Amino acid sequence: MGNKGLFGSLVEARRAGIIIAVFSRFIMAILCDARAHYNLNSLGLCSNYNANLHNDNKYMDSLEINKIVAGLLVVILIIIGITNFAEILYHVEQPKVAHYVIEGVDDTNMASATEEVVAAPIEEPILTLLASANIDNGEKIFKKCSSCHVAVKGGANKIGPGLWEVVNKDKGIVDGFSYSTALTGYGGKWTYDELNGFLKNPKKYIEGTKMSFAGLKKSNDRANVILYLRSLSDSPAPLE
């Protein structure tokens, strides 16, 4: 934050000069009209003010008129001066940043970290959710998937592969189905954790997958569906 004094800017210097010049001009007028009392005429300072003064006794003495006018002007100048005096003597620049900057602290990183904490709430592990999941609710939710997947043993593939015994099965091995390169290259088994992550957001979990399903955002819904998928087997996988 920068501070500037009386000569801090050209505009302020000119403003101060105008006020001083006007004030001095009228003070000189009063003094020159008072020459009879103070004998200032001999100094030659009042020649411009003496030509036409006191010529007619019918009019009010010019000294009194000048006193009244000067008094009004002084009042006006005082009002103007009070308004601008502090700014002329001490000018404060507005800060470019409306807060104090702490060295070594990056506001951008702090904001990003805060957003990440808010945007990524901690979810319970899928095995914990499966302990209280409901197969019947999972079957109802699975109806959203039934147009693309079959859930019976030996069922034919549709838009998506059959899901019989999908839990703990290797990815991309259902006979007769053409998987995306992204999924076959991903590898691994369909564990509970893998199913949970994939069902939450398929395209984000495995980029390039053919699956167009938007995902199940609620963790309880995913747990119910996974528990239902676990039941699609002659020997369901253990919950571990």
Model pLDDT for residues 99-113, shown as the tens digit of each residue: 555 555 555 555 555
Domain limits of the chain? 3-92, 126-230
Distances, alpha carbon 13 to alpha carbons 1, 7, 141, 163, 165, in Å: 21, 6, 79, 85, 88
The CATH code of domain 126-230 reads: 1.10.760.10
pTM of the predicted structure, to 2 decimals: 0.52
pLDDT digits (tens, 9 = 90+) for 112-145: 555 555 555 688 999 999 999 999 999 999 999 9
163 and 150 in contact (C-beta within 8 Å)? yes
Mean pLDDT of the region 158-170: 95
